[in-house]
Chain A
Amino acid sequence: MSIDFEFRKQVMDHHIGSDLIKYCYQCSRCADNCPVTKVSADFYGTTGYNPRSNILNALLGYKEAIFNADPLVIWGCTVCDTCDEVCPQHIELTEIFTFLKNESVKKGKAPEYLIGQAKAIFDSAKAIPSQPAIERRREQMGLPPVIAPNATEVQTLMKNIGSDKYL
């Protein structure tokens, strides 16, 4: 397995606080408390979703071990932020996983629902666009109409940032 130094650097840079990921000593509290590991991994953690393995591979720059594997390795994360809270080294694991997910999107490996949501936001500025039936229900319940957002502004932002390429 080869080490990708550029990938390692990107991982280090993604952390909000600092490069705390360097101090991971693989204690496995993240995996022990991960709800998805609990329901998807076997006893030795060799199958299913495992946050500890992701941190190790990201830290070592083992890009292929992350991106050439079953997408579950990345997309099994349910974003509950439990690992962040239990990590004794205060590593912001979810931020690292966000970076891995963003890279996976660029490789065309994101789950369908995610792309669907991003498309809806690009098209209508809402993840769930307004529908006539719900608008009527709002009116019946005495609610004011939702004020229409400016979809052009969202499109301009996404185009300039370059995320429209992956829709």
Chain B
Amino acid sequence: MTEYKMFEGCTIGNRIPFIEAASRKVFDKVGIETSQAPFTCCPDPTGMKSFDNNAWLAIGALNLCLAEKEGKPIISLCNGCTNTLRGVQYQLKHDSLMKEKVNKELAKVGKHFEGSIEVRHFVDVLHENLDKVKAAITKPLSGLKVAVHPGCHYMRPAEWMESDDPLRPVVLKKLVTASGATLVEYEEEVLCCGSAVTNAYEEHGLANLKIKMDSIKRSGADVICVNCPACFQQFDTRQRDLSKKYETEYDIPVLYITELYALAMGYSADEIGLKFHRTRMKSVLEKLGL
């Protein structure tokens, strides 16, 4: 079995660690082995990359070097981190001049980037192990209606993410169906959560989130399932701002796909820290009889 270097990322590791807890429990059940490394920020493909592309490439390459040193692939829990690490690898493999420049900088901190290891999004690894996932499910989530939001950076840009269809993604839907829950589709499935623009222009970010949430509400979903911490926070924490601004009650709980799986694999809400969510989980737990 492959041992992966766990890249939990800044948001999950240092702000919402309950998602890491659920993910590690699910990985154990499925037999995905991980170990840690002193990774820095990936860095953020919507933040640091916009600040300075050269610094983004160099710091991203620094992280890849840490995994290369051990010759182990990376498993990332976050769309943004996966996007950066795969993007840096892709750009440096396609631009030998830039690779030379980055290696010149890395040499000053005693490192050298080769591009020899793989970077995997955890959703793709779970998808590959779907049989093992299904075998570990002891409490199918029958009757729970789930809307999915895979998030932009899981599948775009297609050239370097090489995961799902960039405009009609299906993998997260397959994963949700495997839990025994009922998938509900909605019009705005591939619409961005708007996390990045909300940071700079809250007015436009919330107007975008409203389009997304209205569509999810119309679908009749009990819960939104995500696989990215930035999207998770956008839905979980900004729903209240949205309800206030537009005087509409949304109140749709949000679950990470690994939280959904942890419940289906028999863990209790307490064991995976669902109380730390901002949106109320009560309706979901009642529906599941938990």
Contacts and interface: CB of A to CB of B under 8 A. Distances in A.
A153 interface: yes
B58 A142 contact: no
Contacts of B38: 147-150
B55 A163 contact: yes
B220 interface: no
A82 B192 contact: yes
Interface string A112-132: 011101100100011111110
B14 A80 contact: no
A117 B15 contact: no
A5 to B, nearest CB: 22
B149 interface: no
B238 to A, nearest CB: 14
Interface string B125-157: 000000000000000000000000000110011
B50 A158 contact: no
- What 10 pairs between A and B have smallest CB-CB spacing? A78-B197, A80-B192, A81-B156, A39-B207, A163-B52, A125-B40, A111-B200, A149-B40, A101-B50, A128-B10
21 contacts: A35-B194, A72-B201, A81-B157, A82-B192, A85-B157, A99-B53, A114-B51, A118-B52, A127-B41, A131-B14, A134-B17, A138-B20, A143-B21, A146-B13, A147-B37, A156-B109, A157-B106, A157-B109, A158-B52, A161-B58, A166-B51
Interface of A: 16-17, 35-36, 38-40, 49, 72, 75-82, 84-86, 92, 94, 98-99, 101-102, 105, 110-111, 113-115, 117-118, 121, 125-131, 134, 137-138, 141-144, 146-151, 153-154, 156-158, 160-161, 163, 166
Given A82-B156, A146-B8, A157-B55, 15 more contacts: A16-B94, A35-B191, A35-B208, A38-B211, A78-B197, A80-B152, A94-B157, A128-B15, A134-B17, A138-B17, A150-B40, A158-B55, A160-B108, A161-B52, A163-B54
